[in-house]
Amino acid sequence: MPETTGSLSPTSASRFLRGVRLGMPVFLGYMPLGMAFGLMAVAAGFTVAQATACSALVIAGAGQYLAIRMIAAGGLATTLIAVGVVNLRYLLFSASIAPHLSGVPPWQQGLLAFTLTDETFAINAADAREGRADRFSMLGVGAISWVGWTLGTLIGSLAGSAIGDPNAWGVGFALPAMFTALLVGQLTGKREYVAAALAAGSALALSLFVQRDWALVAAAIVAATVMTVAP
Amino acid sequence: MEPTIVWSLIAGMALTNIIVRATPVAVMSRFELPEALRRWLSYVPVSVMSAMVALEVFKPSDQWRVTLANPYLLAAIPTALVYRFTRSFLGATIAGIGAFLAFRYLLG
């Protein structure tokens, strides 16, 4: 995306910090989810170091939950294939964010790709739509999200069942709330409303037949395709 | 659990994840994409978010809740309004959590 280089442009540090602020809702949502993962991983036989390393290196919510459920019963190969399949949706997200990252140094592209999740994608895509996102703000969003997920896992795996159920504080609604706000931000014109309606309807209908992640990806593909070919 | 298995699992997951996430960025950011593809990609975010909200609100934790007595659905309304008028993701998220707790309490 266009980056102004004039002397009045904010410094890279202030743009990074803007991203950190932008990513706070993700942090808020990831802490309890990370804690839940830490708890489950330790219960499944992971050490604190293994659980935390898993979150720090993988950052894949649904994929990680699936892995600890599968690894106990299934083999290593089956588990890896299943996790890979669950994470195929990132191909789509990565492709969608790619046009904004031309001219960004490969190591920064790498870091951005590493912190690409449903939530960071949504925040950055919404910010890009307003013409504000740049690589530093995106790195800030990624960094604070990574901290939330990893720190949450560390706390969850250390504390064990002592922390109780984080859902009692309503944090289970943090990510749905964030997505609702992001959706409102994306609804800028008639075509966007049509795309949103198509995607929502297709996702719910498809979820009758296939697993949630697949319903999500298929619905997005259906809606984007219809909007592209429709006059 | 056997440490070798766990560490192999972590390494394997880390590897597959970065490949899936980085390949499109690495390849597609190098070329000028055709207009139709760019158009298609521009509809992906709004579609993903709408699909996500629909699933989170009407089928939270994979359980259908197609009823008005649904705290997820009801809490989404003040969340959307707060974002509409404040343009703050954090403000809307916190308002949404508050509304969700209130509706969940009221609905039992």
**Partners of residue B49 in chain A, C-beta under 8 Å:** 122, 126, 179, 182-183, 186, 196
pLDDT tier, A4 (very low <50, low <70, confident <90, very high otherwise) = very low
Side chain identity, residue A223:
A
B21 found inside a domain: yes
pLDDT at residue A225 in the model: 95
Report A:75-104 residues touching B (Cβ under 8 A): 76, 79-80, 83-84, 87-88, 90-99, 101-104
Report in angstroms the alpha-carbon separations of B96 from A26, A174, A196, B6, B101.
14, 7, 21, 38, 9
- Measured CA to CA, the distance from residue B48 to residue A80 in angstroms comes to 25
B67 belongs to a structural domain: yes
pLDDT at A172 over 80: no
Instruction: Calculate the average pLDDT of chain A.
Output: 87
pLDDT at B102 over 80: yes
Q: Are residues B25 and B56 in the same domain?
A: no
Domain count across chain B: 2
Is B87 found in the same domain as B56? yes
A7 has pLDDT over 60: no
Domain containing B2 equals: 1-31
Measure the CA–CA gap between A51 and B26, rounded to whole angstroms. Answer: 29
Two structure tokens written together for A31: 């802490």
The 10s digit of each residue's pLDDT in A219-230 is 999 999 999 998
pLDDT at A164: 65
Q: What is the mean pLDDT of residues A211-222?
A: 87
Question: Which of A114, A183, A201 faces B21 most closely, judged by CB atoms?
Answer: A114
* Same domain, yes or no: B27 and B53: no
- pLDDT at A166 (0 to 100): 64
* pLDDT tens-digit map of A19-70: 999 999 999 989 988 988 898 888 888 999 999 999 999 998 778 988 887 8
The reply to whether B96 and B49 lie within a common domain is yes
B48 and B25 in one domain? no
Q: How many CB pairs under 8 A join A and B?
A: 286
For residue range A105-164, list pLDDT tens digits in order.
Answer: 999 999 999 999 988 998 998 898 888 999 999 999 999 999 999 999 999 999 876 666
The verdict on B25 and B59 lying in the same domain is no
Q: Would the CA dihedral through A170, A171, A175, A179 be positive or negative?
A: positive
Domain-located, residue B50? yes
Assess contact for A71 and B1: CB atoms under 8 A: yes
B23/B51 same-domain check: no
- Packed helices A76-86 and B3-28: angle between N→C axes, nearest 10 degrees: 30
Q: Report residue A90 as tokens.
A: 């990132």
How close A131 comes to chain B (CA, Å)?
Answer: 13
What residues of A are in contact with residue B62 (Cβ under 8 Å)?
A: 212
Q: Are residues B53 and B8 in the same domain?
A: no
Residue A5 has a pLDDT of 45
pLDDT band per the 50, 70, 90 thresholds, residue A165: low
Domain locations in chain A? 12-164, 187-231
The answer to whether B93 contacts A177, with C-beta atoms less than 8 Å apart, is yes
User: In the structure, what pLDDT confidence band is assigned to residue A6 with cuts at 50, 70 and 90?
Assistant: very low
Whether residue B98 sits in one domain with residue B53: yes
Closest-CA residue in chain A for B31?
A102
Decide if A187 touches B, using CB distance below 8 A. yes
Claim to verify: residue B50 and residue B103 sit in the same structural domain: yes
Inside any domain, residue B36? no
pLDDT tens-place string over residues A76-102 = 888 888 788 778 888 888 998 888 888
Burial zone of A75 (CB within 10 Å; 0-12 exposed, 13-18 middle, 19+ buried)? exposed
- Rounded-to-integer distance, Cα A89 and Cα A100, Å: 19
Residues 134-163 of A with CB under 8 A from B: none
